[in-house]
Amino acid sequence: MPIPHSPSQNRLLAALSVQELQRLTPHLELVSLPLGEMLYETGGPLRHAYFPTTSIVSLHYVVDTGASSEIAGVGCEGLVGVSLFLGGDTTPSAAVVQTAGHAYRLDRHILKQEFDRSGLLQRLLLRYTQALMTQMAQTAVCNRHHMVEQQLSRWLLVTLDRIPSGELVMTQELVASMLGVRREGITEAAGKLQQAGYIRYRRGHIAVLNRSGLEKRACECYGVVKKEFSRLLADIQQPPQT
């Protein structure tokens, strides 16, 4: 039986005190996020923050030619919309749903009001922002210096950490767009991982068969980001699996 939707499925919300969560709960709106939905566009106003539970949201930049590249992903460990409490209402990046699922949406004014109380939520959001910055910086380094096979392995592992199942609904075109590489590069890299017995790919579904093997193929970027998230958010409990 699937676990009923609950704010505690998001690690940041789950870490709040009972009093803080009670203040937020009446304002948390459960929303369904379909694959490909644009939560906010480049330079557009941010009206809500999103706390993903079963969905994953990709933050990416789009250049003048229309090409794009992911700079970070947000799942049940965080929130989308850090600009809202950092002093800005817009951002040069865009936010698109990478994996369909659910999230809790919170009006920007409520988020800012709670943040300004200088309580636990403020400390959690600031630490999460530092971890997110580490992810962005490491992604930039990875995309510049590591092979596509290493990048794909890292990306698959990060995505697996955010979902309960070992199978991803993802086309090669979408993965190529996320990593900012040509589709042919993803096809070749995925073929090597499948030949090694680490993944199985069929019609937009990627199943991870051997996680330890995938970890060996990934570059050090995966471990760096994972370690930093663990260090900064060590006292935040894991959400229940669905």
The candidate with the shortest Cα–Cα distance to 210, out of 170, 162, 153, 152, is 153
pLDDT score, position 88: 74
Residue 47 phi/psi, 5-degree rounding, is -105, -20
Displacement of CA 105 from its chain's centroid (Å): 15
* pTM recorded for the entire structure: 0.86
Q: Which of 60-69, 73-82, 83-92, 151-160 has the highest mean pLDDT?
A: 73-82
pLDDT score, position 29: 97
What is the distance between the alpha carbons of residues 5 and 134, in angstroms, rounded to a whole number? 30
Fold classified for 7-118: Jelly Rolls (2.60.120)
Counting residues of the chain whose pLDDT is more than 90, the rounded percentage is: 39
pLDDT score, position 50: 97
pLDDT score, position 143: 77
pLDDT tens-digit readout, 1-17: 566 899 999 999 999 98
Mean pLDDT rounded to a whole number for the chain:
86
Ordered by start, the domain boundaries in the chain are 7-118, 144-223
Whether pLDDT at 228 is above 70? yes
Whether pLDDT at 238 is above 50? no
Average pLDDT over residues 188-214: 87
Residues in a beta bridge with 38? 96
Average pLDDT over residues 10-26: 93
Q: Which secondary structure element, helix H or strand E, spans residue 35, and what is its range?
A: none
Other C-beta atoms closer than 10 Å to the C-beta of 205 total 12
In CATH, what class is 144-223?
A: mainly alpha
